[in-house]
Chain A
Amino acid sequence: MTAAELKNVSYIYSQNTPFMKVAVDNINITFEENMTIGLIGHTGSGKSTVAQMLNGILRPTSGDVIIRGKNMWESPKKLKEFRYLTGLVFQYPEYQLFEETVYKDIAFGPKNMGLAEEAIERRVREAARFVGLSDSILEKSPFDISGGQKRRVAIAGVIAMNPKNLVLDEPAAGLDPRGRDEILGRIREYQQQTHSTVIMISHSMEDMALYCDKLVVMHESKPIMAGTCEEVFSRAEELEKAGLSVPQVTKLMMELANMGYDVNTSVYTIEEAKKELLRVLGGEVKC
Chain B
Amino acid sequence: MLKDITLGQFFPGNSVLHKLDPRIKIIICIAYIVGIFLCDSLAAYIFLIAVTVLLMMISQLPIKTVLKGIQPVVVIIIFTALLNVLWRGGETELFSFWIITIYLEGVASAIFMMIRIIALVIGTCIILTYTTSPIALTDAIERLLSPLRIFKIPVHEFAMMMTIALRFIPTLIEETDKIMNAQKARGSDFSTGSLAERAKALVPVLVPLFISSFRRADELAVAMECRCYRGGSGRTRMTQLRLAKRDFLFMFLTALFIVAVLLINQYFPIYIA
Contacts and interface: CB of A to CB of B under 8 A. Distances in A.
Contact of B187 (A14, A52, A84, A89): A84
Contact of B204 (A84, A89, A108): A108
Interface of B: 3, 11-13, 62, 65, 178-179, 181-189, 203-204, 207-208, 211-212
Given A95-B208, A98-B207, A98-B208, A109 B181 contact: no
Contact of A158 (B13, B185, B212): B185
Interface in A148-174: 157-158, 161
A35 to B, nearest CB: 22
Contact of A161 (B184, B186, B204): B186
B187 A83 contact: yes
A95 B204 CA distance: 11
Counting chain A CB atoms within 10 Å of each CB, the highest count among B184, B186, B204 belongs to B186
Interface in A5-24: 14, 16-18
B73 to A, nearest CB: 22
A87 B182 CA distance: 10
Contact of B184 (A57, A98, A157): A57
A97 interface: yes
B179 A157 contact: no
Contacts of A99: 204
Nearest to B179: A96
Q: What 8 pairs between A and B have smallest CB-CB spacing? A: A112-B187, A98-B207, A96-B182, A109-B186, A88-B185, A98-B204, A57-B181, A90-B182
The B contact surface, by secondary structure, is: helix
Contacts of B211: 95, 143
B12 A108 contact: no
B182 A18 contact: no
A80 interface: yes
A93 interface: yes
A221 interface: no
Contact of A18 (B11, B179, B181): B11
B187 A109 contact: yes
Counting chain A CB atoms within 10 Å of each CB, the highest count among B11, B207, B212 belongs to B207
A84 B11 CA distance: 38
Contacts of B189: 80, 112
A52 B12 CA distance: 28
B3 A14 contact: yes
A281 interface: no
Contacts of A108: 183, 186-187, 204
Contacts of A18: 11-13
A55 interface: yes
Interface string A89-131: 1100101111100000000110011000000000000000000
B187 A57 contact: no
22 contacts: A16-B62, A18-B11, A18-B12, A57-B181, A57-B184, A83-B184, A84-B187, A90-B181, A93-B182, A95-B178, A95-B208, A95-B212, A96-B179, A96-B183, A96-B204, A98-B208, A108-B183, A113-B187, A157-B186, A158-B185, A161-B186, A161-B187
